[in-house]
């Protein structure tokens, strides 16, 4: 039999491409054109990303990856992680390397430095410079495959114990017989790949920070040093990225929170925010907007207990499916759980009464404070907390009413988010997770209902397989902030299951008992998290309607304080949120501090104002507005609120 001398691969537009047998991705790119040959970074063959140098299988559908593809950035960041390990092992001989993956914003590599070597952030520049030398040297990434025994021997001889452990695990867990190694310059690493053709494709690289990390995230194993960095295809992209980080730092709600008297976090209660006076006002203002939606859309509101018998959580399925996220407590030999969700309490309320089909859909809201046992390492200001308030609601309805109810939730979310200045809402549909309750048929029905509702409204959405709640699929709503970052806020979940567990019924028009469907929904999601997003979105400088303090009265000297208090009292009567700076500081200092407090208006009062009964108004947005009476100023505030 004659061996095939040609293979045929298929290009993304369906065109066949004939190549000599044994041709690689690089050969395919060259056959298409010299421009592509130069731009090529890797190749996708039948959906799998491979090195350009790997031979192509006959009949494969191929696509050449260039720097225009989103995944290409991930590829060169993985390249950069190897270059960093190359630089580090060169600068600090005896360093043990572990793993170095690309991550969302860049890459990292975890190292174990020799005991006598101390590496700090001061060394990052030196490591970066060494990396640059290897990038400039245009070292190619070369792959070889070795039998596991030989690879173990190789790494053992180099004292690279972590690599030996990784290979041993691969043998045990995946039964592999060979492993792949990638070389760039003098450095060779155990790696699945793929990699770009050479180090010179990394146009811009920056190391950012250093942190401790346990080997495999296991506290009983060695503490390693993790170095973070990022890489881009151009210096310009890197500069834009660094600029964004600077801006994010300036807006960081964890710093602005205490500075502006909004909230604080204490080690006595990790992940559980203390709301200060200004922050509590902010929360109430946000709540008022949610309440307006509840009134408009015919919701009733309830409040249920924080602490309930564990028996309830067995019944709800939380014990089996959510236990690791829950706090438990015991009193007088009775076991309680602190609620991580409001649903079981809501079910007890619904189940305590008889319901007729005439009442449905029944929409019951609860601003429910919940607690979840998040690991300390993942806590992040207000964005990831252990205690928060959901603007929650449960809608009980018939299967026929689902589409209408989900549509109503989407509309409420549109209106509410627009009120806060977020117009661009992204929707994600999440389906059945691994840990879940209910039958396949129930899940299918629920997923179809959510899809149907989105399609009936002609809304675009993306699919997020396996990320639903344990009791049902969900739609999540994402907003984009001033820095272009996306945040998940609201959620809407269809649940056929909880009503069964709690034996919830209503009577239909034949007086026969029927099972209602339960829709769990939150418009903003977590009030705390939403407040955190707003703080960063506005960089602490809230619009007039949302500012906890709309105006600061600044008496020019101590003898004007009494008049300042009088001005403030009058303005409060007129519905303006106002504070007086009663400190014995110079007016210059008071003005500077009021500017730092980021309130929309300053009202300076001295002899002249006292005589005329007016205030000298200075607006942050518009500058000096001159003197005016209280009523006129209050009107100005209210018209700004309405804008």
- Using CB under 5 A as the criterion, which residues of the chain lie in contact with Zn ion when the complex forms? 191, 343, 520
Q: Which of 51, 67, 392, 476 is catalytic?
A: 392
Residues near 339 by beta carbon (within 8 Å), at least 6 away in sequence: 305, 306, 307, 308, 345, 368, 370, 371
Q: Give the nearest distance from C-beta 394 to Zn ion in angstroms.
A: 6
Tokens of residue 433, six digits:
């997770």
Q: Which of 278, 520, 529, 560 is catalytic?
A: 520
Q: What angle do CA 382, 383, 384 make, to 5 degrees?
A: 95
Tokens of residue 203, six digits:
């146009």
List Cα–Cα distances, 15 to 6, 11, 21, 66, 82, in angstroms: 16, 5, 18, 19, 36
- What's the CA gap between 108 and 111, in Å, rounded? 10
User: Judged by CB, which is closer to Zn ion: 191, or 260?
Assistant: 191
DSSP letter assigned to residue 325: G
Q: Give the nearest distance from C-beta 300 to Zn ion in angstroms.
A: 16
Active site residue 520: yes
Please confirm whether the linkage preceding 114 is cis (ω < 30° from 0): no
Q: Which of 251, 386, 432, 474 is catalytic?
A: 474
Q: Give the nearest distance from C-beta 189 to Zn ion in angstroms.
A: 6
Q: Give the nearest distance from C-beta 421 to Zn ion in angstroms.
A: 28
Active site residue 474: yes
User: Judged by CB, which is closer to Zn ion: 195, or 560?
Assistant: 195
Instruction: Write the secondary structure of 492-536 as one string of H (helix), E (strand) and C (coil).
Output: EEEECCHHHHCCCCEECCCCCEECCEEEEEEEEEEHHHHHHHHHH
Give the phi and the psi of residue 448 in degrees, each rounded to 5.
Answer: -65, -35
- What's the CA gap between 157 and 64, in Å, rounded? 38
Q: Give the nearest distance from C-beta 192 to Zn ion in angstroms.
A: 7
- What's the CA gap between 479 and 421, in Å, rounded? 10
Q: Give the nearest distance from C-beta 191 to Zn ion in angstroms.
A: 3
User: Judged by CB, which is closer to Zn ion: 131, or 262?
Assistant: 131
Nearest Cα residue to 70 out of 232, 228, 235: 232
Active site residue 392: yes
Active site residue 489: no
Nearest Cα residue to 182 out of 214, 147, 145, 219: 145
User: Judged by CB, which is closer to Zn ion: 499, or 600?
Assistant: 499
Q: Which of 355, 363, 394, 529 is catalytic?
A: 394
Q: Give the nearest distance from C-beta 495 to Zn ion in angstroms.
A: 8
- How many Cβ atoms sit within 10 Å of the Cβ of residue 230? 24
- What's the CA gap between 217 and 523, in Å, rounded? 35
Q: Are 83 and 137 in contact (CB under 8 A)?
A: no
- Report CA Rg, the chain: 31
Please confirm whether the linkage preceding 194 is cis (ω < 30° from 0): yes
User: Judged by CB, which is closer to Zn ion: 187, or 487?
Assistant: 187
- What's the CA gap between 365 and 302, in Å, rounded? 6
Active site residue 6: no
Instruction: Write the secondary structure of 549-595 as one string of H (helix), E (strand) and C (coil).
Output: CCEEEEECCHHHHHHHHHHHHHHHHCCCCEEECCCCCCHHHHHHHHH
Q: Give the nearest distance from C-beta 457 to Zn ion in angstroms.
A: 22
Active site residue 372: yes
User: Judged by CB, which is closer to Zn ion: 495, or 536?
Assistant: 495
Q: Are 427 and 403 in contact (CB under 8 A)?
A: no
**Which pairing describes strands 578-580 and 551-555: parallel, antiparallel, or unpaired?**
parallel
The three-state secondary structure class of 178 is: strand
Q: Give the nearest distance from C-beta 413 to Zn ion in angstroms.
A: 16
User: Judged by CB, which is closer to Zn ion: 82, or 278?
Assistant: 82
User: Judged by CB, which is closer to Zn ion: 163, or 537?
Assistant: 163
- How many Cβ atoms sit within 10 Å of the Cβ of residue 112? 19
Q: Give the nearest distance from C-beta 444 to Zn ion in angstroms.
A: 21
Q: Which of 78, 355, 372, 529 is catalytic?
A: 372
- What's the CA gap between 538 and 515, in Å, rounded? 45
Which H/E stretch holds residue 610? helix 607-612
User: Judged by CB, which is closer to Zn ion: 343, or 637?
Assistant: 343
User: Judged by CB, which is closer to Zn ion: 350, or 633?
Assistant: 350
User: Judged by CB, which is closer to Zn ion: 97, or 343?
Assistant: 343
Q: Which of 343, 347, 489, 492 is catalytic?
A: 343
Largest CA distance in the chain: 110
Active site residue 638: no
Q: Give the nearest distance from C-beta 465 to Zn ion in angstroms.
A: 22
Tokens of residue 634, six digits:
């209050």
- How many Cβ atoms sit within 10 Å of the Cβ of residue 46? 13
Which residue numbers are catalytic? Answer: 343, 372, 390, 392, 394, 474, 520
């Amino acid at each position: 039999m004659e061996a095939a001398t040609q293979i045929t691969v298929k290009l993304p537009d369906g065109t066949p491409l004939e190549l000599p047998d044994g041709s690689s991705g690089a050969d395919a790119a060259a056959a298409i054109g010299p421009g592509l040959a130069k731009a090529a970074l890797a190749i996708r063959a039948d959906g799998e990303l491979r090195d350009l140098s790997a031979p192509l299988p006959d009949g494969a559908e191929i696509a050449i990856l260039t720097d225009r593809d989103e995944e290409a950035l991930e590829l060169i960041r993985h390249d950069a992680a190897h270059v960093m390990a190359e630089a580090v092992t060169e600068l600090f001989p005896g360093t043990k390397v572990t793993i170095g993956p690309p991550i969302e914003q860049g890459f990292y590599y975890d190292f174990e430095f020799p005991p006598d070597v101390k590496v700090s952030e001061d060394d990052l520049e030196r490591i970066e410079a060494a990396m640059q030398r290897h990038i400039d040297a245009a070292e190619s990434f070369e792959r070889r495959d070795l039998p596991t025994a030989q690879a173990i021997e190789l790494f053992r001889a180099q004292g690279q114990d972590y690599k030996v452990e990784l290979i041993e695990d691969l043998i045990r867990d995946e039964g592999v017989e060979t492993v792949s190694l990638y070389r760039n310059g003098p450095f060779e690493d155990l790696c699945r790949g793929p990699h770009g053709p050479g180090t010179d494709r990394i146009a811009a690289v920056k190391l950012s920070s250093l942190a401790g990390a346990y080997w495999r995230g296991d506290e009983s194993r060695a503490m390693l040093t993790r170095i973070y960095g990022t890489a881009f295809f151009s210096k310009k992209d890197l500069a834009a990225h660094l600029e964004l980080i600077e801006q994010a730092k300036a807006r960081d709600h964890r710093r602005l929170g205490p500075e502006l008297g909004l909230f604080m976090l204490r080690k006595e209660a990790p992940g559980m925010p203390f709301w200060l006076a200004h922050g509590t006002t902010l929360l109430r203002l946000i709540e008022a907007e949610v309440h307006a939606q509840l009134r408009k859309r015919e919701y009733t509101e309830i409040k249920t207990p924080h602490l309930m018998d564990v028996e309830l959580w067995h019944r709800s399925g939380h014990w089996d499916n959510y236990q690791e996220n829950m706090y438990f407590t015991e009193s007088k030999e009775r076991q309680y759980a602190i609620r991580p969700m409001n649903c079981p309490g809501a079910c007890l309320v619904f189940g305590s009464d008889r319901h007729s089909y005439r009442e449905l859909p029944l929409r019951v809201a609860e601003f429910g404070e919940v607690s979840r046992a998040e690991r300390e390492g993942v806590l992040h200001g207000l964005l990831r907390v252990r205690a928060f308030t959901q603007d929650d609601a449960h809608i009980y309805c018939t299967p026929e009413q689902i589409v209408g109810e989900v549509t109503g939730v989407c509309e409420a979310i549109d209106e509410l988010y627009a009120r806060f200045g977020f117009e661009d809402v992204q929707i994600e549909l999440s389906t059945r997770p691994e840990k879940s309750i209910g039958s396949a048929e129930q899940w299918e029905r629920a997923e179809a209902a959510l899809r149907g509702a989105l399609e009936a409204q002609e809304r675009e959405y993306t699919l997020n397989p396996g990320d639903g709640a344990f009791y049902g699929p969900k739609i999540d709503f994402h907003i984009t902030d001033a820095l272009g970052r996306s945040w998940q806020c609201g959620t809407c979940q269809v649940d056929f299951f909880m009503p069964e567990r709690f034996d919830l019924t209503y009577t239909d028009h034949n007086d026969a008992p029927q099972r209602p469907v339960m829709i769990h929904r939150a418009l903003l999601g977590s009030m705390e998290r939403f407040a955190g997003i707003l703080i960063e979105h506005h960089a602490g400088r809230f619009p007039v309607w949302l500012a906890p303090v709309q105006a600061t009265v600044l008496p020019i000297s101590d003898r004007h304080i009494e008049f300042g208090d009088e001005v403030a009292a009058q303005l409060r009567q007129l519905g303006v949120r106002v504070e007086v700076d009663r400190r014995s500081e110079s007016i210059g200092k008071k003005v500077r501090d009021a500017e730092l407090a980021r309130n929309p208006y300053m009202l300076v009062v001295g002899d002249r104002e006292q005589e005329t009964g007016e205030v000298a108004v200075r607006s942050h947005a518009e500058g000096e507005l001159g003197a005016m009476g209280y009523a006129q100023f209050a009107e100005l505030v209210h018209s700004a609120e309405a804008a």
